[in-house]
Amino acid sequence: MMLHFTKMHGLGNDFMVVDLVTQRARLDSERIRALADRRFGIGFDQLLLVEPPLRPDMDFRYRIFNADGSEVENCGNGARCFARFVLDQKLTAKREIAVQTAGGNLLLKVVDDGRVRVDMGAPRFAPADIPLTADAPAHDYALDVDGETVHLDALSMGNPHAVIDVDSVDHAPVATLGPRIEAHPRFPRRVNVGFMEIVSRQSVRLRVFERGVGETLACGTGACAAVVSGIRRGLLDQHVDVTLPGGTLSIEWAGPEHPVIMTGPAERVFDGRIVI
């Protein structure tokens, strides 16, 4: 069968977006891995599926699959692309769009300058919610990584995140330490690993090793997690610009029980068709 898709990106974090409202397809993990291949397939960090909602108060169901074929709970850069996609494809005329994900519900708003503002929901800190094997919530978890003690913060933005403070992201051990923490047994569902350099109280630099993908040019939920971690430890103000390799996101958090608000761009690259 012929499958229509759109290639999009949010600050270089790139996606294959598929409308499963007006067309039908079965995409198993083997097929997703083949499509994600950057030499023999389309190439992407994540596959985003637009599906009919399971609840009457939601506009769409939003599903996310990593390049390795694993389904994950949330993707912030993908959420912005999702909002632009459903508007561009005329699947909705709304500029405020309610979507359900495996990690919770999101509210997406396309603003006048074309950027997308996403209510990412409130962060969760209980170890069972991350999930992380630990006796109680903490700001500083000591992790034994092959005999080396690594200190990190951990929280959930609908998906699991570890945040490590570094003096310079340029020299951070993203490629070596990232995969070892991602697969650490204390994170039973693996974890996204952010390396954060604090520039000022309103600005940070960040690199993220994403679960099931590797380092990406940008990670929206990772940016949210890093800012939340910095704010709750008293290191950052309420509104922070996060500079990632692919560009800058604006993150706001008013504190516990409040949602994290992320604002940033979403770009269409091309439309295509593929036989599956």
Which of 75, 163, 169, 223 does the annotation list as catalytic? 75
Q: 173: Cβ–Cβ under 8 A, 6 or more apart, which residues?
A: 195
Cβ-proximal residues to 200 (8 Å cutoff; 6+ apart), any chain: none
Q: Would you say 13 is a known binding-site residue?
A: yes
- Integer Cα distance of 225 and 192 in angstroms: 10
76 is in an annotated binding site: yes
* Among 93, 91, 77, CA closest to 45: 77
Task: Establish whether 220 is an annotated binding residue.
Answer: yes
Phi, psi angle pair for 19, to nearest 5°: -85, 110
81 is catalytic: no
192 is in an annotated binding site: yes
Annotation marks residue 219 as catalytic: yes
**Catalytic option among 163, 219, 228, 244:** 219
Q: How far apart are CA 208 and CA 24, in angstroms?
A: 33
Distance of alpha carbon 174 from alpha carbon 216, whole angstroms = 11
Residue 211 labeled ligand binder? yes
Binding residue ranges for substrate? 13, 46, 66, 76-77, 159, 192, 210-211, 220-221
Binding residue ranges? 13, 46, 66, 76-77, 159, 192, 210-211, 220-221
- Active-site residue set: 75, 219
